[in-house]
Structure 1
Amino acid sequence: MSMQHDRWAELTGGQAGEEYARRFARLAASGQDIHGEAAFCDALLEPAARVLDAGCGTGRIAIRLTELGHLCTGVDVDRSMLAVARRDAPDQEWLYGDLAHLDSLVPESGFDLALAAGNVIPLLAPGTGPAVVRHLAGALRTGGLLVTGMGLDAEHLPLAEPTVTLAEFDHWCTQAGLTLGQRFATWDGAPYHQGGGYAVSVHSRPTA
């Protein structure tokens, strides 16, 4: 998320970390599975894969993927969210910075999977989407995967209206050299139907 007027900062003032963590702690305590994104990604990966969690927030997904045996790097522009991640998993790699400048934060490629969950794409600063997708694609090894989850209507977004359509997002991915492989309506793999309010997409960086 961009340091210049990103939508997440406008919504939260950059102070949401502790409350965000408490919300998921309450969900876990109530018996809800809070690891759907991690389970989805784990099923796509070989053991000990390298994962880039872009817009990692409090680290919930990256920490779980590390517990599952993967090597995770988290990046976020919200210091309050990163403070929780660093407290909960001090030995993991947490990077502060703007995804629109991801190439300077993570200059090397070679990640097996880059993840942008939690409405990261719709909450980017206006106009930065194509650059962010290009940098995420550039961080992948050949054959690597970009996994995204995002709301497409107000019901599935913390916004009054959507900021990007699937057609626009797929165009950004095509421009970045990525190919759509799979699309679902939920993290547990429910089929996506045209016009649905939420999409989980798996794009790949082709091997040739």
Structure 2
Amino acid sequence: MTRWSRLSGKVGGEQYAARFAALAARGEDVHGEAAFVDGLVEPGSRILDAGCGTGRVGIRLAELGHTVVGVDVDASMLAVARREAPLLAWHEGDLAHLPEPVAADAPYDAVVLAGNVVPLLAEDTLPAVLPGLARLLRPGGLLVAGFGLDDAHLPPGCPVTPLADYDAAAEDAGLTPVDRFSTWQAAPFDVAQGYVVVVYRA
């Protein structure tokens, strides 16, 4: 069981989507992740939104002209994604055991892990998840992840995944570090900020 499944409680797809709709209504930028990834890849790239949730990031990337496939373990989240973007491919599955259709759509130009997907994985699966995702990338493709590094940037009860553990798993998967930032707006990385956006290349 993923940590998300254990910690999400009664927070389903509709409630999660409503939260971001409220943020957008207040004028806050809810598309920072998509804008960041769009700036890294070529127009019309093929992108896997891994841990896609309600599809917020993937739908925006599709609006920007990319071909997007989404996968998530939470059926209630996927129900929202399918309603909002029925023409995109949304698959239910754990990132440690990727559904066959996700692999069949490979290779991808980029794989995105946004929204604290990394620390919300099932315990001890990171060393298996990253090689599985890396195998889906074309040579030179990018793995982009953003996640909190302290309690203030994580859901209540979610343990911190040390950045060193992520780096070790990525390098064991044969990926090469490219860059890292403290925000999706590409602020210079400072561990004291409690958040990281890290880019690796296949």
- Scaled by the length of structure 2, the TM-score of the pair is 0.95
Match of 1:155 in 2: 152
Query: How far off is 1:53 after superposition?
Result: 0.2
Deviations 1:100-157 (A, max 9, x none): 0126442243100000000000000101111111111111000000000000100000
Match of 1:86 in 2: 82
Match of 1:132 in 2: 129
Take 1:153 and 1:24, find their aligned partners in 2: how far apart are those partners?
A: 22
- 1:95–1:161 CA distance, 2 compared to 1 (3 A): closer
**Within-5 A mapping of 1:34-53:** 34-53=30-49
Please tell me the residue identity of whatever aligns with 1:90. P
1:179 aligns with 2:180: no
Take 1:150 and 1:140, find their aligned partners in 2: how far apart are those partners?
A: 21
Determine helix, strand or coil for the equivalent of 1:100: coil
* Overall identity of the aligned pairs, in %: 56
**1:97–1:105 CA contact under 8 A, matched in 2:** no
**1:145–1:203 CA contact under 8 A, matched in 2:** yes
Determine helix, strand or coil for the equivalent of 1:57: coil
Please tell me the residue identity of whatever aligns with 2:84. D
Determine helix, strand or coil for the equivalent of 1:48: coil
Determine helix, strand or coil for the equivalent of 1:101: coil
**1:145–1:202 CA contact under 8 A, matched in 2:** yes
**2:51–2:70 CA contact under 8 A, matched in 1:** yes
- 1:194–1:22 CA distance, 2 compared to 1 (3 A): closer
Take 1:78 and 1:128, find their aligned partners in 2: how far apart are those partners?
A: 17
Determine helix, strand or coil for the equivalent of 1:115: strand
- 1:14–1:48 CA distance, 2 compared to 1 (3 A): farther
Match of 2:67 in 1: 71
Take 1:69 and 1:182, find their aligned partners in 2: how far apart are those partners?
A: 24
**1:51–1:73 CA contact under 8 A, matched in 2:** yes
Take 1:106 and 1:153, find their aligned partners in 2: how far apart are those partners?
A: 31
Query: Gaps spanning 5+ residues in structure 1: where?
Result: none
Please tell me the residue identity of whatever aligns with 1:21. A
Moved more, 81-90 or 103-112: 103-112
Query: Gaps spanning 5+ residues in structure 2: where?
Result: none
Match of 2:25 in 1: 29
Number of residue pairs matched by the alignment: 201
- 1:189–1:129 CA distance, 2 compared to 1 (3 A): same
Deviations 1:66-113 (A, max 9, x none): 000000000000000000000000010000111001264422431000
Q: Spell out structure 1 runs of 4+ moving beyond 2 A.
A: 103-109, 159-163
1:166 to 163, 169, 172: 163
Query: How far off is 1:163 after superposition?
Result: 3.1
Match of 2:138 in 1: 141
